[in-house]
A and B are shown apart, each in its own frame.
Chain A
Amino acid sequence: MSARAVYASKPARTAVFPEWLDHRVVAALTQMGVSTPYTHQVHTWERLHERQHVVIATPTASGKTLCYNVPVAHAIHENPCARALYLFPTKALARDQESTVRRLLSLARLDAKAVVYDGDTPADIRRKAKKEGSVIITNPDMLHTGILPHHAGWAQFFGNLKYVVVDELHQYRGVFGSHVANVLRRLQRVAAFYGSRPLFVGCSATIGNPEELASRVLGRPVVGVGESGAPTGKKTFLLYNPEVVDPVMGTRASAFRTAAKLAADLVREDISTLVFCQTRRGVEIVLRYLQDKFRQDVDIVRRIRGYRGGYLPTLRREIESDLRDGKLKAVVATNALELGIDVGELDAVLLAGYPGTIAATHQRSGRAGRRLHPSLSVLIARSTPMDQFLAQHPSYLLEASPEQALVQPDNVEIMLAHLRCAAFELPFGTAEAFGNLLVAEAQEALTCLAQEGALKLSGERFHYVADAYPAAEVNLRTALAPNVVVYNLETNEPMAEVAAHSARFELHENAIYQHEGETFEVTRFDPEQCKAFVRPVEPVYYTTAVDQTRIEMLQRRQEKSIGASLLQQGDVEVVENVVGYKKIKFQTHENLGYGDISLPPRVIETESVWLVFDGRITESFNPEAAALALDGIANAMAQVAALRLMCDPRDIAFSVQTAVPEGGTQTHWQPVIYMYDTHEGGVGLSERAYDEYELLLTDVMALVSGCPCDDGCPVCIGPVAPGGTAKAALAVKDTAKTILALLTGQTLLRSEVRS
């Protein structure tokens, strides 16, 4: 065990119903057993009553849905024509919510309909929903392609729109969030056209910046309601690092086996347990291990279930309700169960591996804890760099605030795509702004689209004149470049999807591709069609791509000094060029040969933050050692930057440019470490990294110094390429540590530098 934290129990904090609240709604709540609402619920109602936009960020199962369902029911009592729009990121959550709203509406004696409107809604119900639906429950994609471009059919709905509820707000970050923010900008334009100014209610899991995220996604200033009044029992959180089984490789006992063992102990004590795994395959493995432990007791085996995407919806519903009713002893699940689905409360949660963010860790842990009963959650570290970093620096997880979620609604590519859709929905006036864009900015963007032939300025308005249906061309869920689909030639079925940026590094021809613990060889890669074909193999080696990525600075926006080096941030053009690959033998890291790759380079324009090293830093080292050390620092940064920036590790990439410039001399050698956003145009990650670069370097320093390896391992600076004693003599890890110390201004203790 590497850390333990105990959180004391907290009694409920309640308040009285506001006087203005319709008595029939109060009666309905009382009937539902809510006679004294929690403080955060009443706070939300009051803010909305004052016509302020609100974001609620409280833990799982704190009664969030009443925060918005109550004002909506009240509004319909005030005006039977009042309408509300609920957005959920998935269809399943929308369906889950439908019955909850209906129940409240009918108990409050309202003859108002709440209807799920999505791709599965039959045509006759769709027609009815448009005319009569008081509460329309849908997802951002449907709003984007199915509702906004047909708003004339929803004239009554938009004209009476009082509330827009955006639940699971923390899901709307990165590219997806930037898209959704623009869809909501369009929604507000359409609502304004029909004369309504709806109030926005955002609900988020605990994240570092709920107000900021909400105001950017919702496009409105919001007030935050954060202090949950719901009671909680005593919670114990443990961070467990399984024992080392292979000291050479630094490998530890399997997190799956450990999770199954701990879960079995809990089940024997009759403690209801939920085990979270990162992958579907993980679920099946842990489930099998766990069921195997109760082979003699069929009754218990039957009460241990798996739950993941790919299970039929009916089966999932059955497991959810069995879990709610306490019929099950343990469930092994993927994050499919994480999203707001109501399964009641359990006694213990085990996380087989770090879920990727502090916020998700909190959210999953929050599944444990019946009101006022003590509960337990355990994070079991895997051998991966991120998990090991946390195991060694538990304060990161236990003390740091959760990550901030970033969106960039003004990403040019994303914004222009939605500006086209918006112009299709309603022509743009020449004095009109778009969301938070100023009038001048919006007009410049519109002029740009007009020059491209999509819009026509006519009579002081920009009209959409292209012939396609623009919303059909914009997919909110995929990044700007489509993913590459990996086909398994043995089964002839798609097996995985890889982001466009990573594909050329991982899926070039003859690459060894690892997928859920199995190895495959890529037989063909077609970047045009976004397809790669693989066949299973059992090689003695793995491959690494030889990367000759070039980065050209287009525009520098800001710079500051870090130590004696210079940190700059701005726009760059990245030419990702993979020219070949190396075969590296497992275990010994021997180089078994090279191969050429002829792939056209991928060119993207994006945002970047780059550190230009002061010549004096690098001068004092052996250039070869320094170059390897910088590669190592970049490798370590890649591990911790995703943590700091709360993004998918694939959203950012690092590149080290160590070449001595032409005509330059060693003394002017100024290598650069770039971190860039892998999405065209960027989603704001590099700006955030710029602001937090010092912290990032401190994290890297902690990771590298804390790693017990001798001279580099995958957890810290990466395995240093083998080369026998010559390479060992370079002392790459020490060099990296010294460079980091110079950057962060820390003085290394003598003991930390090996002589």
Chain B
Amino acid sequence: MSKLHNRLSRRKQKRDRTLEVQGETSRREDGAVENFLQSDGEPPDAECEDEPIAGTKSEIIAQLQKRMKKIESSKVHALGTRNRRSQQASELPTDDVDRPVSIGGSGEDSVVVEPDSAVILPGEVLHTAMGEVWLSRQTYPGYYMGNEPVNRYLETGRALAAFAKDTRIAELPPEGALFIDTETTGLSGGVGTLPFLIGAGYFEDGVFVVEQYFCREPSEEPAQLEALANRMEQAAYLVTFNGKSFDMPLINTRFIVNKVKNPGYNLPHLDLLHVSRRIFKRRLSDRSLQNLEKVILGFTREGDIPGSEIPAAYREYLFGAGAQRICDILAHNLLDIVALAALGGVLDKIYSDPLAVAHAADNLGLAREAFGAGEKEIGNRHLDAADALGDSDDKRIALHMKGKEAMRRKAFDEAIDAYRRVLDVDAGDVDAHLQLAKLYEHRKKDYESALRHAEQAAELEGADGAAYRVARIQKKKDKHAKRKW
């Protein structure tokens, strides 16, 4: 083994030399950072000072600034404003752990150490058949996220089955939902990507509970999966945000790689990313969970760790950087899970109560969902709402959809009515003219009206197809007139 051994040793020596050089540089840069901060009139925070941070000078400064901002914001509760009574129950773990912690006694003599080494992960060790894993468990009785109560999810019904395009869900009680979100060691996929934190939310006796299974070491993964498997065995279906493409394939892979039985493989699965994309297509260009929280739930996150920083933060934790950033990740994941439940409740509410929908554009998206699931009555009520409350563009689209839907039912008079009302909104709507021309020509045999609409369409569009139609109807009209004679 001498050859390989020698080469590996030389590689190591070379690396150590490089690290030494880098160390010198970064020590110099640390000094520069201190100068920078002091010149700004702000003494470096105790928490930041001893934190080992690597990177270029500007990166270090950015990191420090971010961290200081977060310490500030963590003192203010990062919660919605509408419902204060639930605040205590809904305190996020970061609130406790972000503050410097006293150890070595109590009172004035206690030594305050920098939080990073003293930050304690919220939770406890969970013992499973496959070993230990860290469990953080939080309950949220009567919690509101922003303006929306999480418990509304318990009142959900057919809407979710319509969204999931999976009739199995219609039969399943909302209490059976398991909300899942993962935090991973990488974003590029592949079997080696580790979901080091799996959050699972569910309702227990009417109270929303979030369990987070966290691997303090990669070796805790079998226990983590075992804990999740036990949880999934209680579940009737899964709810995720982008879980169809990301979280669940990853979790399924980990079950295979760890040779742990996976009870979640065939569970029905509602992915709210796909639903939200469809419903809010016309209104929101940013359909990320955090934007939906802001716009739909009225909740704004503060001091949230950006998703892109999570893999590196976990890696640093594994190599000895304290638990601070893990607490941030737990908080981030917790919010994602709570938001899932709250969002599910809101989507069900606006689906079932078209008049409660604040934006007519959303009614249109919801109508499409309803028609897709064969729920014509709800669909039409959404269209009526959009017609009544929307701007002219919403109205036009709603009436078009109504006309199309009526045609499908062969309710031609309703269809004619809908298209005529489109023309009330926009007399220059070519498509409405064409539809009317067809309806009058084929269904009503009213060639005069058909010709009028066809001519207008042709005039508006100048297209050959329309001209051909005009000619044909003219011929039919003449023929019809002759026969009448």
Q: Give A residues with C-beta under 8 Å from B.
A: 149-153, 155, 410, 412, 423-427, 437-438, 440-441, 444-445, 448, 451-453, 456, 458-461, 463-472, 554-555, 557, 571, 605, 681
Contact = CB atoms under 8 A, between A and B. Distances in A.
B189 A469 contact: yes
A465 B191 contact: no
26 contacts: A149-B190, A149-B192, A152-B191, A152-B253, A152-B256, A153-B253, A440-B1, A441-B1, A441-B5, A445-B8, A451-B12, A451-B15, A453-B315, A456-B319, A458-B218, A458-B219, A458-B318, A460-B219, A461-B219, A463-B219, A465-B318, A467-B315, A468-B186, A468-B188, A469-B190, A605-B10
Given A445-B8, A470-B192, 4 more contacts: A410-B3, A441-B5, A465-B318, A466-B315
Interface in B98-122: none
Contact of A152 (B217, B252, B314, B319): B252
Best-buried of B8, B252, B311, B314 by chain A (most CB within 10 Å) = B8
Nearest to A148: B191
B427 interface: no
B4 A554 contact: no
Contacts of A153: 253
A151 B257 CA distance: 9
Contacts of A151: 191
B188 A469 contact: yes
Contacts of B8: 412, 444-445, 448
B185 interface: yes
B339 to A, nearest CB: 25
B85 interface: no
Given A149-B191, A468-B186, A468-B188, A456 B218 contact: yes
A554 B10 contact: yes
B482 interface: no
B312 interface: yes
Contact of A448 (B11, B187, B256, B311): B11
A472 B257 contact: no
Nearest to A153: B253
B192 A412 contact: no
B285 interface: no
B39 interface: no
B132 to A, nearest CB: 10
A424 B191 contact: yes
Given A152-B257, A425-B191, A468-B186, A459 B11 contact: no
B7 interface: yes
Interface in B186-234: 186-192, 194, 217-220
A228 B217 CA distance: 56
Contacts of B312: 467
Given A152-B257, A412-B4, A426-B257, A472 B252 contact: no
- In terms of DSSP, what is the predominant structure of the interface of chain A? mixed
Given A458-B217, A463-B218, A441 B192 contact: no
B6 interface: yes
Interface of B: 1, 3-8, 10-12, 15, 185-192, 194, 217-220, 252-253, 256-257, 311-312, 314-315, 318-319
Nearest to B222: A459
Best-buried of B3, B187, B218, B319 by chain A (most CB within 10 Å) = B218
Contacts of A412: 4, 7-8, 11
- In terms of DSSP, what is the predominant structure of the interface of chain B? helix
A515 B190 CA distance: 43
Contact of B256 (A155, A445, A458, A681): A155
B1 A438 contact: yes
B141 to A, nearest CB: 37
Contacts of B187: 467
Contact of B319 (A427, A448, A453, A472): A453
Contacts of B217: 456, 458-459
A456 B314 CA distance: 12
A571 B218 contact: no
Contacts of A554: 10
Nearest to A573: B10
A557 B315 CA distance: 39
Contacts of A438: 1
Best-buried of B4, B15, B185, B253 by chain A (most CB within 10 Å) = B4
A469 B187 CA distance: 9
Contacts of A464: 192
A208 to B, nearest CB: 24
Contact of B4 (A441, A459, A463): A441
Contacts of B185: 465, 467
Contacts of B220: 459
A423 B192 contact: yes
Given A440-B1, A458-B217, A448 B10 contact: no
Contacts of B188: 468-469, 472
Contact of B15 (A424, A426, A452, A456): A452
Contacts of B253: 152-153
Contacts of A469: 186, 188-190, 192
A617 to B, nearest CB: 31
A77 to B, nearest CB: 29
Best-buried of A152, A425, A459, A466 by chain B (most CB within 10 Å) = A152
Nearest to B254: A152
Contacts of B311: 467
Contact of A555 (B6, B186, B190, B191): B6
Contacts of A456: 217-218, 318-319
A466 B187 CA distance: 11
Nearest to A193: B257
B7 to A, nearest CB: 4
Nearest to B312: A467
B218 A459 contact: yes
Nearest to B192: A424
A424 B190 contact: yes
A449 to B, nearest CB: 10
A469 B311 CA distance: 12
B82 to A, nearest CB: 38
A129 to B, nearest CB: 17
